[in-house]
Amino acid sequence: MSEVKVRFAPSPTGELHIGGARTALFNYLYAKAEEGTLVMRIDDTDLERSREEYVDKLIESLHWLGLGWDEGPYFQSKRLDVYSNEAERLLSEKKAYYCYCSVDELASGRERARNENKQYLYPGNCRDLRDNQVEAFEAEGRKPVIRLLIPDTGTTVVNDLIRDKVSFNNSDLDDFIIIKSNGLPTYNFASIVDDCKMNISHIIRGEEHLSNTPRQLLCAKALGYKLPAFAHVPMILAPDRSKLSKRHGATSVEEFRSEGYLPEALVNYMALLGWAPGEDRELITLSEMIALFNLGKVNKTAAIYDTSKLSWINGNYMREYDTDKLAKAALPFLKEKYATENHGKMKDEEYIKKVVSAVKERAKTLKELSEIADYFFKDNFDYDEKGVKKNFKKEGTVDLLKTLKSELKGLDILTSANTEELFVRLCESGKVSLGRLMGPTRLALTGKTGGPAIFDIMEILGKDKVTERLERAIYYIENMMDS
RNA sequence: GGCCCCUUCGUCUAAUCGGUUAGGACACCAGCCUUUCAAGCUGGCAGCAGGGGUUCGAAUCCCCUAGGGGUCACCA
C-alpha cells in the first residue's frame, strides 16, 4: 500500500449520473494505478434532500460498473460529533464565531448587492458581538450559525494536479457558514474536515468544486491540517453545452443501463471523456486503463457526451462478449418486451442463447438486440412494407413458398446445413436464383428484409414455426394483398 | 455582475523542450466484400475561436477580445 488515499464522496440526492460516475472511475483508476486506497463516503449532511434509497442506488450503480472501493462507506450523518468538535476548537481559538443574523435579515443586503450589480459578501455583523448582544439574541430564541473568520487580505492558492496553481483573493471570500443553525455542518466544512481526518492524499472531484476549494483550504489551515493535493476533473456537458439535466435523455448510470449498454462499454466510454490512453487506443479494458492511467494527462476541457460513440463501443463489447454472458444480460430486455407474447421460449436457455448468438453482431445495445429479435418471440409480426413490394408482389412467389413448404416435409429437423442444401436443390431445379427464394422466405419468417443468415433462422425457429409462417405468408399473399 | 476555469474536425481526442502535409476514433459520404442485414476493409469530408505580440520559426509562450462553463446558499 502506498501513501495514496483517495475518496469518492457523492451526496445521496439523486441517481449516479455520468459525471459523478466518471469521477468515481478516475478515483478508482488513480487508486489502483498508485496501489493506494479508495474510500467511499456518503456526504449526506443535507437532511432535506438526502434519501436512503439513493444511497442504495448509488452503490448499486457503482457495483454494476465494476468499481469497488477499499474502505467505507462512511456516512457523514454518523460523524456529526466530529464536525461540531472541530467547530468548537475553531470557536475557542477565535478562528470562528457565532452569528445570529437570520436568513431574512441577510436577504435585504443580498438584494441590494444584486440591484447594484455587486457581489454580495457577508458584512461580518457578528464578528465582534458583545456579551449583552449575544444575551439579547439568545433571549429572542435565535439559533446561531457558526462562521469561519476569513482573513481580509492575502491569497489562497489551490495546487491542482490538472490545472496547476489557481489563486484566489481572500478579499473575495466572506465569512461563510461552517455549522448551520440546526447544528449540522455545511458541505464546505464537513467535506474538508473528513478529507483531512481520513488522511485523504488526493482529492479528485469535478470542476464545479474548484471555486469552493479556497474556502475548504482556509478551513483546513485554521484547523492546522496537513493539506491534501487536488485534481479537478473537467465537467461532462450535455450535447447543447449546458449542464446535464433530465431533459437531455439518459444521463444517469441507471438510465444507460436500462437503455441496454454494457457496464464495460460505459466505463470504457467514460474513461475516454477527458483522458486518452495514448497510442490512439479507443477500446480498452479496466485493467488496461489502470496500467496506463496518469492524472496529469487528464484534460482541462469540459467534454460533451455523445451517445453515438458509446453505441459503437457498446457494439464492440457485445460482439466480444461470451454468448452465455450476453444472453444473461439480454434476458431482462427480452422478458420486458415479450413477456406478454406467451411464446414459451423465455425459459428455454438454449433457445435464448441461439437467438442472441444469431443477432448479437447486428445490435449496438441490448435493447436494440431485443427489438431486432422480435420474430423469435412473437408470431403476429407485420411484414416490412418495402419487403412486401420487393418480394411478395413478384409473380410466382406463392408457388415458390408453396414448393418450399411441401419440400420441408421431407426433413425431420431443420439445420442450417440441410436447409441450405434444400434451397440450392430447389433453385436449381426451378431455375431461379437463390436470392429469389431467400428474399420471400426471409420476409415470411421474420417480416424483415435483413437479419441473420436465413438458414440459421430456420434452424433456430424449427420446422413447425417455419411451416406455420410459410402458411401465414401464403395466405397473406393470396388473400390480404391488394396488388 | 465579481471571482475562477476552459477554447484543436459536428463529437471524443493526439501532437516529448516551439520546427508535423495538424494524427487517431465516432458520426457522415463513397467504394469493396457479401445469398440479405450487420460486421470488416479501403478511401473521402472536416479542425488549431479571433486579434496582436515574442521568435528565424507558434496549435504550442505572452497580452487582449469573444465565446462556453463553474462558483458566489443555514445545497452538495
- How far apart, in whole angstroms, are the C-alpha atoms of residue A166 and residue A330? 48
CA A61 to C1' B43, whole Å: 42
Q: What is the ipTM of this complex?
A: 0.94
**Bases of strand B lying below 7 A from some protein CB:** 1-8, 10-14, 23-27, 35-40, 68-76
Residue A344 has pLDDT above 80, yes or no: no
Are residues A49 and A121 both part of a single domain?
A: no
Q: Domain containing A143: what range?
A: 81-179
What is the sign of the dihedral through the CA atoms of A191, A192, A193 and A199?
positive
One domain, residues A85 and A155: yes
Shared-domain flag, residues A364 and A292 = no
| A78 CB closer than 7 A to any strand B atom | no
A172 and A88 in a common domain: yes
- A64 vs A408, higher pLDDT: A64
Q: Is residue A194 part of a domain?
A: no
Q: Is residue A188 part of a domain?
A: no
A66 with A25, same domain: the answer is yes
The mean per-residue pLDDT over the stretch A311-329 comes to 96
Nearest nucleotide to A113 (CA to C1') is B1
Summarize pLDDT for A130-184 with one digit per residue, the tens: 999 999 999 999 999 999 999 999 999 999 999 999 999 999 999 999 999 999 9
Inter-residue contact A259 to A311 (CB < 8 Å): no
Is A199 contained in some domain?
no
A172 in any annotated domain: yes
- Residue pLDDT, tens place only, A182-206: 999 999 999 999 999 999 999 999 9
User: Is A422 among the domain residues?
Assistant: yes
Residues A239 and A153 grouped into a single domain = no
A98's enclosing H/E stretch is strand A96-99
Same domain, A253 and A333: no
Count: domains in chain A: 4
Residue A163 CA and nucleotide B56 C1' are separated, in Å, by 32
* pTM exceeds 0.90, yes or no: yes
Closest nucleotide (C1' vs CA) to A276 is B13
Asked if A455 and A419 touch (Cβ cutoff 8 Å), the reply is yes
A288: pLDDT strictly greater than 70: yes
Region A324-332 average pLDDT: 96
Q: Which residues contact A32 (CB under 8 A, 6 or more apart)?
A: A38, A290, A293
pLDDT at A90: 96
Query: Rounded mean pLDDT of chain A?
Result: 92
Spanning CA of A236 to C1' of B64, the rounded length in angstroms is 29
Starting at the earlier edge strand, list the strands of the sheet with A177-179. Answer: A96-99, A145-148, A177-179
User: Average pLDDT in the A291-319 region?
Assistant: 95
Which residue places its CA closest to the C1' of nucleotide B4? A211
**CATH number of the domain where residue A138 is located:** 3.90.800.10
Residue A289: inside a domain: yes
Let me know whether A429 and A473 are in one domain. Answer: yes
Nucleic chain B: which protein residues 393-422 of A have CB below 7 A from it?
Answer: 420
Closest nt to residue A282, judged CA to C1'? B25
Distances, alpha carbon A481 to alpha carbons A29, A79, A385, A392, A403, in Å:
61, 73, 11, 9, 20
Model pLDDT for residues A88-118, shown as the tens digit of each residue:
999 999 999 999 998 888 888 888 887 777 7
Q: Closest protein residue to B7 using CA and C1' atoms?
A: A301
pLDDT of residue A240: 82
What would the pLDDT profile of A208-253 be if each residue is shown by its tens digit?
999 999 999 999 999 999 999 999 999 999 888 888 876 777 789 9
Residue ending a domain, choose from A320, A348, A363: A320
The CATH number of the domain holding residue A401 is 1.10.10.350
Determine the Cα–Cα distance for residues A238 and A18; give it in Å rounded to an integer. Answer: 11
Q: Do A295 and A248 lie in a common domain?
A: yes
| Å: A45 CA to B30 C1' | 58
A261 and A338, same domain (yes or no) = no
Q: Convert the pLDDT of each residue in A13-50 to its tens digit.
A: 999 999 999 999 999 999 999 999 999 999 999 888 89
Residues with Cβ within 8 Å of A282's Cβ and at least 6 positions away in sequence, in order, are: A272, A313
Containing A304, the helix (H) or strand (E) segment is strand A303-304
What is the per-residue pLDDT for A1?
55
Q: Is A177 near strand B, with its CB below 7 A from some atom of it?
A: yes
Determine the longest span between alpha carbons in chain A, in angstroms.
111
Report pLDDT for A482. Answer: 66
Tens-place pLDDT, residues A411-426: 888 899 899 989 888 8
Pick from A41, A39, A40, A24: nearest CA to A79: A41
A426 touches strand B (CB under 7 A): no
Let me know whether A66 and A98 are in one domain: no
How far, in Å, are A31, A287, A304 from residue A25 at the CA level? 10, 12, 17
State mean pLDDT over A397-403: 89
Cell 429437423 -> residue: A413
Mean pLDDT, rounded, for A445-450: 94
Q: Is A118 a catalytic residue?
A: no
Q: Is the C-beta atom of A387 closer than 7 angstroms to strand B? A: no
**Residues 6 or more apart whose Cβ sits within 8 Å of residue A458:** A414, A416, A419, A445, A466
Q: What is the pLDDT of residue A161?
A: 94
Q: Which nucleotide is nearest to A206 (CA to C1')?
A: B70
The answer to whether some atom of strand B lies closer than 7 Å to the beta carbon of A311 is yes
Same domain, residue pair A361 and A440 = no
Q: How far apart are CA A21 and CA A297, in angstroms?
A: 19
Residue A394 lies in a domain: yes
The confidence score (pLDDT) of residue A2 equals 67
Determine the nucleotide nearest to A315 by Cα–C1' distance: B39
Q: Are A61 and A254 in contact (CB under 8 A)?
A: yes
Let me know: does A187 contact A320? Beta carbons within 8 Å: no
